[in-house]
Amino acid sequence: MTYLSLSGHTAGRELNRVRATAPLVHCLTNSVVTNFTANVLLAFGAAPAMVVAREEVADFAAIAGALSVNVGTLTAPQAEAIRLAVASANQAGTPWVLDPVAAGPLAFRTDFCRELLDARPTAIRGNASEVRALAGLASAGRGVDSQDSSEAAVDAARALAERCGAVVAVTGAVDYVTDGERVLAIAAGDPLLTRVTGTGCSLSALVAAFLVGASDRLIAVASACATMAVAGGLAADHAPMPGRFAVALLDQLSLIDSAALEGALS
Ligand SMILES: Nc1ncnc2c1ncn2[C@@H]1O[C@H](COP(=O)(O)OP(=O)(O)OP(=O)(O)O)[C@@H](O)[C@H]1O
Ligand SMILES: Cc1ncsc1CCO
Ligand SMILES: [Mg+2]
């Protein structure tokens, strides 16, 4: 398969577009990464709000710019709140992102993710095993092959995107972002991004921010992925240990600009 590459110029234009509006992102995320996710959005220049009560989520999802849903520490009450938020987002035309943390081996969250796929997320952002698990659900036995390769992950992402009408980002050493037809590859980042909790989860919230007002959702999602990956690479240059890296990542998310993206992406 031929992958398209995201130009630094395009990603930089998207970055400027998002920063200029400081979009409000409603996050229903897991308890491990809630604080880090809020800090990632704030550092970049978006506005987070972790409104979680079932009594409030529907009202808030209708006025937020975007909604980010993450099942990492899913509980039955949170699932109920997510249902209400997603229904309200869909009714209001608010874009929403699904982060299917650990979908596959655990029945409760996997069944819930299946239900959420039927509610048609605007975008899905997960790692390879999560995307392959969801694609297995979505294809209902259509047989996404089981090799552990990035090609299999891209096949799974495309199958999932076709089935749901979502843009799917499958992240790892290289991020692949697809709408089922086009596939953009982003080769950036640093392995330290995997040594701190919540980089993927907070990227999903950043994806939500980039979807607000986007004219091309594939480009918007890919640009969010590029922003996190390039900021991660710059942070690793400054702080090559996990603790300092986590802090440096926030710093680089605040410093990153279109010139940095143009310099880092071919
Ligand atoms: N081996 C790697 N080298 C460089 N960058 C990586 C590598 N693995 C992941 N990344 C980057 O790390 C970020 C998070 O992606 P990852 O696939 O690890 O998410 P995740 O598994 O959902 O994370 P979490 O659930 O811990 O939040 C992305 O920006 C991705 O590009
Ligand atoms: C460590 C962990 N456990 C549940 S969610 C989470 C954060 C990474 O997704
Ligand atoms: Mg994750």
80-135 tens-digit pLDDT: 999 999 999 999 999 999 999 999 999 999 999 999 999 999 999 999 999 999 99
Q: Ligand 2: does its nearest atom lie under 6 Å from the Cβ of 150? A: no
Q: Ligand 2: does its nearest atom lie under 6 Å from the Cβ of 73? A: yes
Apex 134 CA angle, 129 and 140, nearest 5:
130
Q: Which amino acid, 14?
A: E
Q: Ligand 2: does its nearest atom lie under 6 Å from the Cβ of 201? A: yes
Task: Please report the beta strands in 14-100, taking only residues with DSSP state E, as ranges in sequence order.
Answer: 24-28, 47-49, 66-70, 96-99
Question: Which residue has tokens 């096949």?
Answer: 155
Q: Ligand 1: does its nearest atom lie under 6 Å from the Cβ of 252? A: no
The two tokens of residue 235 are 């942070």
Task: Please give the pLDDT value at position 213.
Answer: 98
In a domain, 265, yes or no: no
Secondary structure string (H, E, C) spanning the chain: CCCEECCHHHHHHHHHHHHHHCCEEEEECCCCCHHHHHHHHHHHCCEEECCCCCCCHHHHHHHCCEEEEECCCCCHHHHHHHHHHHHHHHHHCCCEEEECCCCCCCHHHHHHHHHHHHCCCCEEEEEHHHHHHHHHHHHCCCCCCCCCCHHHHHHHHHHHHHHHCCEEEEECCCEEEECCCCEEEECCCCHHHHCCCCHHHHHHHHHHHHHCCCCCHHHHHHHHHHHHHHHHHHHHHHCCCHHHHHHHHHHHHHHCCHHHHHHHCC
Number of domains in the chain: 1
Q: How far is the CA of 44 from the centre of ligand 1 (A)?
A: 18
Here the ipTM equals: 0.98
Q: How far is the CA of 263 from the centre of ligand 2 (A)?
A: 32
Q: Is the pLDDT reported for residue 265 higher than 50?
A: yes
> What is the residue with the minimal CA distance to atom 5 of ligand 2?
72
Domain with residue 54: its CATH number is 3.40.1190.20
User: Which atom of ligand 1 approaches the CA of 175 most closely?
Assistant: 31
User: Rounded distance, CA 213 to CA 25, Å?
Assistant: 12
- Are 180 and 167 within 8 A, CB to CB? no
Q: How far is the CA of 63 from the centre of ligand 1 (A)?
A: 30
In a domain, 239, yes or no: yes
Q: Ligand 2: does its nearest atom lie under 6 Å from the Cβ of 101? A: yes
Return the percentage of the chain with pLDDT > 70, whole number: 96
Task: Please give the pLDDT value at position 137.
Answer: 73
DSSP assignment letter at 2: P
| Mean pLDDT along residues 151-163 | 95
Torsion (CA) 37, 222, 211, 193 in degrees, nearest 10? 0
202-228 tens-digit pLDDT: 999 999 999 999 999 999 999 999 999
171 marked as part of a ligand binding site: yes
pLDDT confidence of 146, banded at 50, 70, 90?
very low
Domain that holds residue 111: 4-260
Q: How far is the CA of 193 from the centre of ligand 1 (A)?
A: 6
In a domain, 266, yes or no: no
In a domain, 219, yes or no: yes
In a domain, 163, yes or no: yes
In a domain, 164, yes or no: yes
Bridge partners (DSSP) listed for residue 26: 49, 67
Task: Please give the pLDDT value at position 139.
Answer: 55
Apex 226 CA angle, 225 and 228, nearest 5:
65
User: Which atom of ligand 1 approaches the CA of 193 most closely?
Assistant: 12
Return the percentage of the chain with pLDDT > 90, whole number: 92
User: Rounded distance, CA 123 to CA 262, Å?
Assistant: 25
Contacts of 254 (CB under 8 A, 6+ apart): 43, 44, 45
228 marked as part of a ligand binding site: no
| Mean pLDDT along residues 147-172 | 92
> What is the residue with the minimal CA distance to atom 21 of ligand 1?
127
User: Rounded distance, CA 114 to CA 26, Å?
Assistant: 21
Element (H, E) at 136: helix 128-139
50-64 tens-digit pLDDT: 999 999 999 999 999
